[in-house]
Structure formats: C-alpha cells, structure tokens
Structure 1
Amino acid sequence: MDWNLLACSRHHLTYAPDEPELRAHLHVSTPAGPAWRCLRCGDFVLGRPRASGPADDAPVPMRGQLLRDAVILRLLAVERFLRGLLLVLAGWAVLRFRSHQGQVRTQFDTTLPLLQPLADRLHWNLRDSPLLHLVERALATEPRTLTLVAAALFGYGALQLVEGVGLWLLERWGEYLAAVATSLFIPLEVYELSERVTWVRVTALLINIGAVVFLVYRKRLFGVRGGRAAAEAEHHHESLLQLARAAGGAAAREEPA
C-alpha cells in the first residue's frame, strides 16, 4: 500500500499550468468531458482542475522529504496542543482554588489532625512532609498572586495552542513562532534540571532542543542554509519536477504501443 496516496481517497491534486507544453500533456478530452491528470497518483480525473497558474506555483504532493517534514511538524503540533490544553486546565484549576481558598483552608485544618494517628502508625513525619509544606504555601498564597499565576498559565497555554495551529497548517509563521518560543524556555528548563533531574524534565528538554534544531536547519529559518529564498527555490524545484514527471507520464501513455 502506498501511504503517500491516502489523500487521493479524499480528493485528487489536479493543476492546470499556464505553460502550453505542460498543459497539453496534463489534459485530455473524453466523451464525459475534460479530464486532468492528478499530480499525486497520476490518474486522469474528470472535471475542472482544482487550481491553475504558473508551473512554479503548482502544488507539491507530500512525498519523500516533504512528507517526512510534514509528519514531524504535525507531531510537534499535537504535542503543543496537548501541552496547551494542560496549561489551560491548570489555569482554570488555580482560579477555582482561589475562589474556594477559604473553604479549602478550613477543610485542611479540620482533616490534618485526623491524619496524625495514621501517620504515626506508618512512621511518617507528617509535619516535615514536603507535600504538606507545599499545600500550606498554596493555602497561604494571596488571591492576587493566584490570579497572576492563572493568567500566566492561560497565556502560555494560548501560545502553545497558536503554535500548534501554525505547525499543523505547515505555515512558515508557525515554524518561526515555535522556534522562538521554544528557544526562550530552554534556559528555564535547564535551570529546573539543575535543581532536580526527572525523566519528564529530561524528555521535555530533549524534545524542545530537537524541535528547535529541526525547525532552524531543515526549514531554513533565520537565514540558515539560504533562508526563505532557498526554501522557496526548493519548493519551486519540486513543483516543476512533479509537473514534468506527470507530463512525461501522460505523454508516455499517449504513445502507440
């Protein structure tokens, strides 16, 4: 099975180039009407082409390196979507905690003495527990500070979601936004590792470093490897190459056996 052709199950990629020598090879007349050659699968499809224009602007089917790039970018987009949703949920949880902080404090003060006998049986020093200190600090936090924390979580979550949209749509602005935003948080992640090493922090750091290297190098951001001009030239080269292949295949079909 050719996984590259799954998109043709939804729609074919037909294109009418302005150049007569290419246009003639990609178009045929049938009793049922005009048909255009799909640039992705090579079959002729009845009806009008999906697009037209210069050969340089022809759409490029996702194959080879372009397909691998698209898969990587969309995997990064999924990771950004998940992270953004978790941050938004965390912001919502902070706001809920702020609105019920007094009730939580009362419940905590009531429940803590009841846990002491159980802690004694388990030989657990409840008063020196890091978890207990964390809860006490959270309960002592000012409501204004909690609001700022929630706003920061919502803002960061929104940034992650916007990155995900840009990467999923394979837009260049999404690549730039993801590269810049990810780079800004790498020093913070390194600082967190200097305090405590966990597999979650190490994995997140490696993913972010790999994403920045891939985006900058492979997608030619910030002038690397020729920058935008080289990326567009590569795209145009693939467009012309795909059209030439399609036209050549059509011409071969028309030759007598």
Structure 2
Amino acid sequence: MRSPWRDFDWNLRACGRHGHVTWAPDEQGLASRLRAETVEGEAWRCLRCGTYVPGEPRGSGPADTAPIVLRGRALRDAFILRLLALERAVRGVLLVALAYGVYRFEGAQDSLQRLFDDYLPRLTPVAAHAGIDLQSAGPVRLIQKALATDPHTLTLVSLGVLAYGALELLEAVGLWLMRRWGEYVAVVGTAVFVPLEVYEMLERLTWLRVAAFAVNIFAVVYLVWTKRLFGARGGHAAFVAQRHSESLLEVEQAAAAEVGSSR
C-alpha cells in the first residue's frame, strides 16, 4: 500500500497555516531570481514553498539578514518535536498533580488511618458473606502500605515526584519552542530514567510501560540523530550548515553565484 505521507507537502501545510514568507534581497541579481511579473503585477517567490505570491514582499534587505525559514524535513522535525512536547507536558501536569496528592495525603494520613481502622472491621464480615476476602484485596493492601509509610518518607516522595514533574514541564517548554537547550534537557532527563523503566518492566510488564519506554527511546535516538546533539554527525556546526543549505534563499544565492562564475 502506498503511504499517504509520501506526497504530503510540509511546506504547503505550513504556508497554509501561517502564510507565505517572501523577501526582496538588496542584491539585484538575486532579487531578479526571486521576482516575477504576472498579470496581477509583481510576484515574489515564497522562501518556504517556492510559490510566486503576487504583491509586495513581506520583508526586504540584504540576503544575509533574511529569515531562516523551516522547510521540508525541518518542518516535519518541528511537528514531531511538538508532539513530544505535548506528551511531556501531559506527563508533567500529571506528576505535579500526583505530588500534590501525596502532600495532601500526608496531612490527612492520621484521619484516614482512624477511618480505616473504624470501618474495615465492620465491612469485613459483610464482605465475607459475599465471598470476598477484604483484608487481602489489592486496594486495601495498597492503602495499608501507604498508611504504614513514614510521614518524612512521604515528604521526600512528594518532593521527588514534584521535581520530576517540573523536569518534564521544562522539557515540554524547550521542545515546543524548539530550543537546543530543551533538546539537551529532554535527552539527558529521559536517558536518566531509562534504567528505572527497564526495572519496572522486569518487575511487571504492562502495555502502558512498554509504550512509555518505546516513546522515550524513540525521543532520545531521534533527538540525538536529527539534531546532531553531543557532537553526533558533525554536531551543532553541521546542523546549522544543513539548516542554511535547506533555505530557499541560500539555494538561490548559491545558484546565482554559480551562474556568475560560469560566465
């Protein structure tokens, strides 16, 4: 079957959502390659999708001051980064909420203990008539384990969960804004918890744990490979050079220089 993404044009998608990006360079030779005359007047070539757009350009100036516009693969990468950012944001909010819940539980631990001690003995005979061993039920054992936890330990747990949630939210902000520091934070923060996720899967294998582990491994490999982090594939310098080479204005400038040198 043919993939529906094969003919998907990320450039047109971005221009459809955010509008075309046209630029009139001060260099006459380069400007002539980006400008065309139409029945509706002059038109300037979009730096993103390459379409000639009638009307005045949205910007002008020397070619080296033109904006570096995300095109093609860079747009796809930005889309994936923001999906990862959303996943990190949801996880971060849930962790912060969990930390607050643990903190509130610590304050109400004594009250809950009294309530548990009063009502569990009363409910046990009723449950026994229904064939239910209430003392060994999973939720009851979980509550008993939580009630037996030292309050100081609960405080440390809540602080740890809160810090983890804050880290996830920081990753989400950095990835959404497509900042390089955010990519480094995401890789390091995710890789640190990979051994813990492996331990959890060895202890009990669930589809949710496997899915979370797969997403995290994908995020680490994808960011290191595509963003050339930690010196991979030439590092930051190679990443910047690639981004410039994918700019339509850079391509046109190189083409104009090649034509000029061949004459």
State TM-score, norm by structure 1.
0.82
Residue 163 of structure 1 contacts residue 178 of structure 1 at CA under 8 Å; is this kept in 2? yes
Considering Cα pairs closer than 8 Å and 6+ residues apart, tell me whether 1 or 2 has the greater RCO: 1
| Amino acid in the other structure paired with 1:224 | A
Alignment match of 1:21 (pick from 24, 29, 48): 29
Residue 56 of structure 1 contacts residue 236 of structure 1 at CA under 8 Å; is this kept in 2? no
Task: Quote the Cα distance in structure 2 between the aligned partners of 1:181 and 1:56.
Answer: 35
2:170 is equivalent to residue 171 of structure 1: no
Secondary structure of the structure 2 residue equivalent to 1:165: helix
2:58 is equivalent to residue 49 of structure 1: yes
Residue 57 of structure 1 contacts residue 239 of structure 1 at CA under 8 Å; is this kept in 2? no
Deviation at 1:6, TM superposition (A): 3.9
CA RMSD of aligned residues (A): 2.9
Task: Quote the Cα distance in structure 1 between the aligned partners of 2:249 and 2:47.
Answer: 11
- Matching residue of 2:87: 79
- Counterparts of 1:230-249 in structure 2 under 5 Å? 230-240=238-248, 244=252
- Matching residue of 1:62: 71
- Matching residue of 1:8: 15
State the aligned residue count.
245
- Matching residue of 1:254: none
Task: Quote the Cα distance in structure 1 between the aligned partners of 2:235 and 2:55.
Answer: 39
Relative to structure 2, which stretch is displaced further, 92-101 or 47-56? 47-56
Task: Quote the Cα distance in structure 2 between the aligned partners of 1:45 and 1:109.
Answer: 78
Task: Quote the Cα distance in structure 1 between the aligned partners of 2:82 and 2:236.
Answer: 21
Alignment match of 1:214 (pick from 215, 218, 222): 222
Relative to structure 2, which stretch is displaced further, 77-86 or 108-117? 108-117
Residue 92 of structure 2 contacts residue 166 of structure 2 at CA under 8 Å; is this kept in 1? yes
Residue 19 of structure 1 contacts residue 55 of structure 1 at CA under 8 Å; is this kept in 2? no
Alignment match of 2:109 (pick from 101, 108, 113): 101
Which consecutive unaligned segments of at least 5 residues does structure 1 have? 249-257
Deviation at 1:21, TM superposition (A): 2.0
* Identity within the alignment, %: 49
Which consecutive unaligned segments of at least 5 residues does structure 2 have? 1-7, 257-263
User: Cα gap change, 1:68/1:29 in structure 2, threshold over 3 Å: closer, same or farther?
Assistant: closer
Task: Quote the Cα distance in structure 2 between the aligned partners of 1:108 and 1:159.
Answer: 35
| Amino acid in the other structure paired with 1:4 | N
- Matching residue of 1:116: 124
Deviation at 1:150, TM superposition (A): 1.5
Residue 216 of structure 1 contacts residue 222 of structure 1 at CA under 8 Å; is this kept in 2? yes
